Chain A
Amino acid sequence: MTQSERIAPSATVPARRFDAAGILPWAVFALLAAVPLIAPHFGLEYYVGFVRHMLIVAIAATSLNVILGYGGMVALGHAGFVGVGAYAAVALVEAGVGSAWLAWGGALAAGAVFAALTGAVSLRTRGVYFLMITLAFAQMLYYLAVSLRTYGGDDGYGLYTPLSLGWLDGVHGDVFYWVVLALAALVFALASRLAVSRFGHALMGIRDNETRMAALGYPVYRIKLAAFTGAGALAGLAGGLLASHNAFVSPSLMHWTESATLLVMVVLGGRGRRWGAPLGVAIWYTLAEVLKINTEYWHWPLGLMLLLVVFLAPRGVAALFERRRGEG
């Protein structure tokens, strides 16, 4: 039984439309699943890793979209969570953990704990102060990592121990790719679910007007902290995956420009849009890749193209699709 039926059986509520466009992203996922099987036949093995990297970054971007897009919290320290996750995974591996699942689980937990601790402080501020505090926390981590001799300091740290995926080991050479794809799908499904959930509605209400939500009986600070912690956990997971993907971690993971890039990707794709984050990541990486092939000076044409996108789709590229579906 849907909510509307429960409210008023006689009410004339337009039925929720069957959402053809909502299927499209999942179809893309299905296609992506075939990449490791097809790419080698065309000598494009490189792109298996490329897509895998993109999927991991999309997990981090999606987690940022939850707090930025749904929660209206403009955080400039998201790469900090990614870095915490990556270093946590490395620390676990160096402590003798051989299971990838445990290492990633540790990365997720580390991201959550760090987000809960920093969120408890930074969520007492708003707007530009919030942005500065999240940036400050991420910078602290960055310099902490630079000074961590145990894990290579500035030079970074190689992760040479192969990790076990349990019974998945040896299924296929590219099994890690599918694991990442499945985790990404899970994260996107979670984020999509969030958009229509009670918690998600509360979060969006807080974004629009905190005072009003407090007056309606919502524990504003707790809801924001829960969202922030959840986002930190997912970003931490992305960090753990990234450590496995690169077999290397370095403080540059947490550099503030990484946080800024994540922000740009989310805004580009459409903040607060269900598919905004993965779309933004896909556009960013594809543009950068195409430009890199053609020119060493790929930054400025990328900038120009981004300007163009911003002018044509100020609410993000995902919004263009929604408008066509009449949602505006």
Chain B
Amino acid sequence: MLKVDKLNQYYGGSHILRNLSFEVPLGVTTLLGRNGVGKTTLLKTLMGLVPAASGNVVFDGREITRAPSYERVRAGIGYVPQGREIFPRLTVEENLLMGLATRPRGTAVPERVFGMFPVLRQMLGRRGGDLSGGQQQQLAIGRALAFGPRLLILDEPTEGIQPSIIKDIERAIRSLAETGEMAILLVEQYYDFARSLADHYLVMERGEIVMRGAGADMDADGVREALSV
């Protein structure tokens, strides 16, 4: 679904992404790597939030390397940024409606979102800022799902979240993958979470993909060891 070819990115003089090439097929692809290897930069480049220096990004057969962010969303890419970034002063309902930018006026938030995260329905009239961290994370995922993306990019959704909600998020991601219609690119540092969801995995180190394979082989391939300091 998503194909990245020889992607390069620099911050000032430092080379952040080095000739990255990989694919994200249907199902869950987890991208693992230690802090500072360029994971978030990669996601921002995929979303067009920082321009790519060179290389190609092809989504669904369409070249989007130079496309502005909103066109990538319109093409069907949903993004859940690190740190959730919900709108604290808007209600849960308004936050979800914000996710419908690319849909015609008056489009409803799909029932599926509430099916996955029932707590959002209970909290519909509350302000985003009044929610707990875990609820905010669910809201951020719900917001990204509202317009019905075909590729969902999640940047460390378990960061600072309590275990019971991590389970909810895990269930939600799995249910999305099981529809067989969505590709999910999950950036994680939490190995067990990534391992339990991954159909495919990628390991990044200093701006390069150093390991890749099937999710089921993660233990055998020694991915956990590769990530431990």
Chain A interface residues toward B at CB < 8 A = 3-4, 6-8, 10-14, 198, 201-202, 205, 208-209, 211-212, 214-220
Residues of A within 8 A of B226 (CB): none
CB contact under 8 A between A13 and B124, given known A211-B49, A214-B48, A218-B101? yes
CB contact under 8 A between A215 and B124, given known A7-B96, A8-B114, A205-B87? no
**Proximity bits, B107-148, A CB within 8 Å = 1, else 0:** 011010010000001101100000000000000000110010
B96 touches A215 (CB 8 A): no
Question: Which residues of B89-106 are within 8 A (CB) of A?
Answer: 89-90, 93-94, 96-99, 101-102, 105-106
In the complex, B5 has a CB within 8 A of chain A: no
The answer, among B106, B114, B144, for a CB contact under 8 Å with A6, is B106
B147 touches A13 (CB 8 A): no
Main secondary structure of the interface of A (DSSP, over half): helix
In the complex, B63 has a CB within 8 A of chain A: no
The CA-CA distance from A13 to B91 in the complex, in Å, is 10
Residues of B within 8 A of A217 (CB): 69-70, 72-74, 101-102, 147
The CA-CA distance from A214 to B71 in the complex, in Å, is 10
The answer, among B73, B90, B122, for a CB contact under 8 Å with A215, is B73
Residues of B within 8 A of A3 (CB): 93, 97, 106
Give 3 closest A-B pairs by Cβ, nearest first.
A217-B73, A214-B69, A217-B101
**Proximity bits, B58-80, A CB within 8 Å = 1, else 0:** 00000000001110111000010
**6 A-B contact pairs sorted by A residue (CB < 8 Å):** A198-B105, A201-B97, A211-B81, A214-B49, A214-B70, A220-B69
In the complex, B85 has a CB within 8 A of chain A: yes
In the complex, B47 has a CB within 8 A of chain A: yes
A8 touches B98 (CB 8 A): no
Residues of B within 8 A of A14 (CB): 125
CB contact under 8 A between A201 and B90, given known A14-B125, A214-B49? yes
Quick one: which of A11, A12, A202, A216 has the most chain B CB within 10 A?
A: A216
B49 touches A4 (CB 8 A): no
CB contact under 8 A between A216 and B98, given known A7-B108, A198-B105, A211-B49? yes
The CA-CA distance from A14 to B143 in the complex, in Å, is 21
Quick one: which of A7, A198, A209 has the most chain B CB within 10 A?
A: A7
A12 touches B124 (CB 8 A): yes
A215 touches B87 (CB 8 A): no
Instruction: A12-B125, A214-B47 are known; give 5 further A-B pairs, CB within 8 A.
Output: A4-B124, A212-B85, A214-B69, A214-B70, A217-B69
Residues of A within 8 A of B106 (CB): 3, 6
B79 touches A7 (CB 8 A): no
Residues of A within 8 A of B144 (CB): 216
A201 touches B98 (CB 8 A): yes
The CA-CA distance from A217 to B97 in the complex, in Å, is 12
Quick one: which of B72, B94, B111 has the most chain A CB within 10 A?
A: B94
B102 touches A215 (CB 8 A): no
B125 touches A13 (CB 8 A): yes
CB contact under 8 A between A219 and B125, given known A3-B93, A209-B85? no
B87 touches A208 (CB 8 A): yes
The answer, among A6, A7, A198, A215, for a CB contact under 8 Å with B69, is A215
A11 touches B124 (CB 8 A): yes
Residues of A within 8 A of B99 (CB): 216
A215 touches B79 (CB 8 A): yes
A201 touches B94 (CB 8 A): yes
Distance in Å: Cβ of A204 to nearest Cβ of chain B: 8
Distance in Å: Cβ of A162 to nearest Cβ of chain B: 45
Distance in Å: Cβ of A327 to nearest Cβ of chain B: 11
Chain B, residue nearest A214 (CB): B69
A219 touches B96 (CB 8 A): no
